Structure 1
Amino acid sequence: MLKVYVMSNKQQFLVVLALVAGLALIWFLKQDPAINQLNGVLKTDVELQAYPYQFHALKVENGIATLSSPRSPEVSVLHFFNIAKPNLDTNNPDSPAMIAAQKELAHVQEKAGKLAKAQPGIQEVRWEIDRSWYASHGLIVE
């Protein structure tokens, strides 16, 4: 015979509360203070925040900060601009508007790198293509 155990509302509440508390604890323990501090610095920069792509720290290890980037040999900058600056005419890569957009991207990425290097303990910055950002915009980067 099959025996069914029914939990009371109070028992159900305690189980859900325990699960939420456990997940919150796991999330808290996985936080890296160096990454959080660096991301905080990047978020306080007005120029970086005004740019359509938000640079962020992925990893800080042995004096090397790995920052996200929309630029990579794997992805044409035209794909990035089609997403980040949809009003930009990307048909002519040599147009003054495209050249200005590329210079602006290089400038904000350089600024993000300089801000990272200015943090205690960081001597070098590496860049990693932001696959999740592209995926969230419907472009899979392999």
Structure 2
Amino acid sequence: MDRLTLSSIIASAAFLVFLIVTLTWHNDELRPRVWQLNELLEQDPVLADYPYDFKVLLFINGVATLSSPHTSELPLRPVLNRFDPALADKPDTAPEVVAAERRWRAIELQAIQVMLRQPDVESVVWALDRAWYHKQRLPLPK
């Protein structure tokens, strides 16, 4: 392949990428649905006040996959201790810890409700946010 052909292919590809990004950026209908769903999560006032930002990672066939620092396989307590370091020295039965766990459950439910209000979202599944653990320097159990 000569240099002119290669330059033409690169220029055409760059222009195509520019065109797609420009059209998608300015037209809500062309923006990926994941972006639109994430904006809904960001705009929710209840979720905005919480220290963790839920994100839609994937949206396929009506199923929204949301990130979460907690799954049923992992204990919730280390996550809550990161959100509120004052909980670290308290027993699991302390009223503050119980309240934090209730709030977490309510926040999870709110994220689910925000998603299910969308007509094309049929269900929500959770995916462990391993990047959050890495940023917090928390070990993940094996």
Given the two structures, how large is their TM-score scaled by the length of structure 1? 0.74
Asked whether the equivalents of residues 82 and 90 of structure 1 are also in contact (C-alpha less than 8 Å), the reply is no
1:46 aligns with 45
Distance (whole Å) between structure 1 residues aligned to residue 74 and residue 41 of structure 2: 24
1:17-96 pair list within 5 angstroms: 25=17, 28=21, 33-96=32-95
Q: Per-residue displacement from partner, 1:14-45 (whole Å, max 9, x unpaired)?
A: xxxx9xx95xx49x59x961110000000001
Provide the secondary structure at the position in 1 that maps to 2:46. Answer: helix
Seq. identity, %:
32
Aligned-residue offset at 1:136: 0.8
Asked whether the equivalents of residues 89 and 98 of structure 1 are also in contact (C-alpha less than 8 Å), the reply is no
Describe the shift of the 1:75–1:123 C-alpha distance in structure 2 as closer, same or farther (beyond 3 A). same
Paired letter, 1:69? S
Asked whether the equivalents of residues 90 and 97 of structure 2 are also in contact (C-alpha less than 8 Å), the reply is no
Structure 1's unaligned 5+ residue stretches are: 1-17
Provide the secondary structure at the position in 1 that maps to 2:67. Answer: strand
Distance (whole Å) between structure 2 residues aligned to residue 94 and residue 113 of structure 1: 27
Q: Per-residue displacement from partner, 1:100-125 (whole Å, max 9, x unpaired)?
A: 00000000110000110111211000
The number of equivalent residue pairs is: 120
Asked whether the equivalents of residues 90 and 98 of structure 1 are also in contact (C-alpha less than 8 Å), the reply is no
Describe the shift of the 1:46–1:40 C-alpha distance in structure 2 as closer, same or farther (beyond 3 A). same
Distance (whole Å) between structure 2 residues aligned to residue 90 and residue 115 of structure 1: 34
Paired letter, 2:106? H
Provide the secondary structure at the position in 2 that maps to 1:126. Answer: strand
Distance (whole Å) between structure 1 residues aligned to residue 121 and residue 127 of structure 2: 16
1:138 aligns with 137
Distance (whole Å) between structure 2 residues aligned to residue 98 and residue 57 of structure 1: 28
Structure 2's unaligned 5+ residue stretches are: 1-9, 25-29
Distance (whole Å) between structure 2 residues aligned to residue 100 and residue 91 of structure 1: 12
Paired letter, 1:60? F
Find out whether 1:105 has 2:104 as its counterpart. yes
Describe the shift of the 1:128–1:90 C-alpha distance in structure 2 as closer, same or farther (beyond 3 A). farther
Q: CA RMSD in A?
A: 2.5
Asked whether the equivalents of residues 68 and 128 of structure 1 are also in contact (C-alpha less than 8 Å), the reply is yes
Aligned-residue offset at 1:79: 1.0
